[in-house]
Amino acid sequence: MARKYLIETYGCQMNAHDSERMAGLLEQAGYEATSDAADAEVVVINTCSVREHAEDKLYTRLGELRVLAQEGGHNPIVVVAGCVAQQEGGSLLKRSPGVADVIVGTQAIKRLPMLVERAMATRRPAIDLDPFEDVTFPLGITRRSDPVKAYVTIIEGCNEFCSFCVVPYTRGNERMRPKADILADARDAAASGRKELQLLGQIVNHYEAPDDPSCDFTALVEAIHEIDGIERIRFSSPHPRHFSRAFLEAMQRLPKICRHLHLPAQSGSSQILQAMRRRYSRESYLELVHTIRELLPDVALSTDIIVGFPGETDADFEDTLSLTREAQFHSMFSFKYSQRPNTLADKRMPDDVPESVKTRRIVELQALQHTIQSAINARTVGQTVQVMVDAASRRLDTELSGRTSQNVVVNLPGSADWIGRTVPVRIERAGPHSIWGQVSLTDAPTEPTLQNAGN
Ligand code: SAH
Ligand code: SF4
Ligand code: F3S
């Protein structure tokens, strides 16, 4: 019987993609997937360090695995991978000896099977945190976890060093993946039947091809747009300070690019943005929003906001509320500031906004955003939108879910063999987080512009 592995994923899309790569490597080494730790010889915890709460999940889980070993008598090889592994390295073992058998950093995952074998053979922890500069990954190994969408990495690491952010320390220098490798990966995804590509990088719009000096992010997306079988292209995240008008004009021309831009604002106060080292102001951010609205009126915007950054006053927070009102985001991820090791803010700025104030601010911000997105979604009632069906609903077996090009979640009745198809859906009800409708084969789409190629 084949040995089994389980990978648990705690982080962002990039972290999830690393899990897909590790799964492929373990399967190549003869392992089979299981969803139960009690059944697995290898348990990989792919960690995130972006906020303290995310890091804490690792320690809780290691405790649970230890109970499984002590009380259940099951003692799998425990691998700690991802951003906490890179950040803490061997000190994880000093903190609590024996909790992990392998610690593999973000740049070393290609060596995972070898490290697991070594730990099994020597019964001693194997640690690999090497910051390899290499961004290659063999084609055909990744075990893509979604039948419809495929992640394709275009940039690894980050050189931006926003003062709150741990990512440059956990994922290393910014490194561009060669255009040829990206296109090969994208074609491979299309050949496997994936319809949507999600391009990944900390700052995707900073892309410059190392193997083609004339190829920037716009030219890369144009090249990807040519690939047959790919119907939708998404990417996250662009940085507000790296937007070019040429890219927005390309979006006007290229229908496969989804009508959605994730534009992390972080704050609406220029003073706080400066302390965050974001290198744009409230004014230039809003100017970008207005340019997008003018050139691409059907594009939905989403954002990330941090409340309670060091020194954030009530007036600064009011600026975040007013920016939120002005930008009219379709959706928002909001976070309470969390002090992270190594960062500039950790070294120089005391975490001085009390927890109760952070809570009050995030509740107020989320209530405002709830009102805004409820109203945006309500306007879709009566419209017919193109929905790419990507999953069966978790709650009802007769219901499917999918997304519009604007990234709005749509639930609809239908059968599971529609997964992967793009269908016109007439919207009947709307809530703050999703909308609901039924397939309408008679209605022409009333969605402003986009008709996906290949429907
Ligand atoms: N590269 C992306 C962000 C990746 S991290 C960008 O620059 O837009 C995802 C989000 O986590 C960030 O946008 C930020 O809102 C949040 N985040 C990062 N560090 C944080 C911290 N120390 N405390 C709270 N939220 C944080
Ligand atoms: Fe972090 Fe800033 Fe880089 Fe985004 S751009 S990953 S927030 S340092
Ligand atoms: Fe992603 Fe978390 Fe690392 S957000 S890059 S897994 S710190």
**Span 3-128 CATH architecture:** 3-Layer(aba) Sandwich (3.40)
pLDDT at 455: 33
State which ligand 1 atom lies nearest to the alpha carbon of 203: 1
Query: What is the C-alpha to C-alpha distance for residues 138 and 296, in angstroms, rounded to an integer?
Result: 37
Our mutation pick for probing the ligand 1 site, out of 13, 15, 50, 280, counting the most ligand atoms within 8 A of Cβ, is 50
Query: What is the C-alpha to C-alpha distance for residues 422 and 394, in angstroms, rounded to an integer?
Result: 20
Question: Tens digits of per-residue pLDDT, 227-246?
Answer: 999 999 999 999 999 999 99
CATH 2.40.50.140 intervals, the chain: 384-451
pLDDT at 320: 98
202: CA distance to ligand 3 center in Å? 10
Strand order across the 196-200 sheet: 149-153, 196-200, 232-236
pLDDT at 393: 75
Question: Tens digits of per-residue pLDDT, 266-297?
Answer: 999 999 999 999 999 999 999 999 999 999 99
State which ligand 1 atom lies nearest to the alpha carbon of 166: 19
Tokens of 185: 């990966």
In short, whether 306's Cβ falls inside 6 Å of ligand 1 is yes
pLDDT at 446: 59
Q: Choose which CATH entry (1.10.1060.10, 2.40.50.140, 3.90.280.10, 3.40.640.10) describes domain 384-451.
A: 2.40.50.140
pLDDT at 72: 86
CATH 3.80.30.20 intervals, the chain: 149-377
Could you report the average pLDDT of every consecutive run of 10 residues in the chain (455 residues)?
A: 95 98 98 96 98 96 92 93 97 88 97 97 95 91 97 97 97 97 98 98 97 98 98 97 96 98 98 98 98 98 98 98 98 98 97 98 98 98 97 81 97 93 97 96 56 37
Strand order across the 32-33 sheet: 32-33, 4-9, 42-47, 77-81, 102-104, 126-128
Q: Which amino acid is at 342?
A: N
Q: What global pTM score does this model have?
A: 0.95
In short, whether 309's Cβ falls inside 6 Å of ligand 1 is no
Residue 164: nearest ligand to its CA?
A: 1
State which ligand 1 atom lies nearest to the alpha carbon of 164: 22
Residues enclosing ligand 2, CB less than 6 A?
158, 160-162, 165, 167-168, 202-203, 239
Provide the CATH number for the domain formed by 149-377 in this structure: 3.80.30.20
333: CA distance to ligand 3 center in Å? 15
pLDDT at 441: 79
Our mutation pick for probing the ligand 3 site, out of 45, 52, 83, 160, counting the most ligand atoms within 8 A of Cβ, is 83
State which ligand 3 atom lies nearest to the alpha carbon of 84: 7
CATH 3.40.50.12160 intervals, the chain: 3-128
453: CA distance to ligand 1 center in Å? 34
Query: What is the C-alpha to C-alpha distance for residues 257 and 246, in angstroms, rounded to an integer?
Result: 14
Query: Atom 5, ligand 2: which residue's CA is nearest?
Result: 160
50: CA distance to ligand 1 center in Å? 7
Q: At what angle do helices 314-327 and 355-378 cross, to 10 degrees?
A: 10
Query: Atom 1, ligand 2: which residue's CA is nearest?
Result: 165
Query: Atom 5, ligand 3: which residue's CA is nearest?
Result: 167
pLDDT at 448: 44
Question: Tens digits of per-residue pLDDT, 333-386?
Answer: 999 999 999 999 999 999 999 999 999 999 999 999 999 999 999 999 999 999
312: CA distance to ligand 1 center in Å? 16
State which ligand 3 atom lies nearest to the alpha carbon of 10: 6
Is residue 437 classed exposed, middle or buried when 0-12, 13-18 and 19+ CB atoms within 10 A define those classes? buried
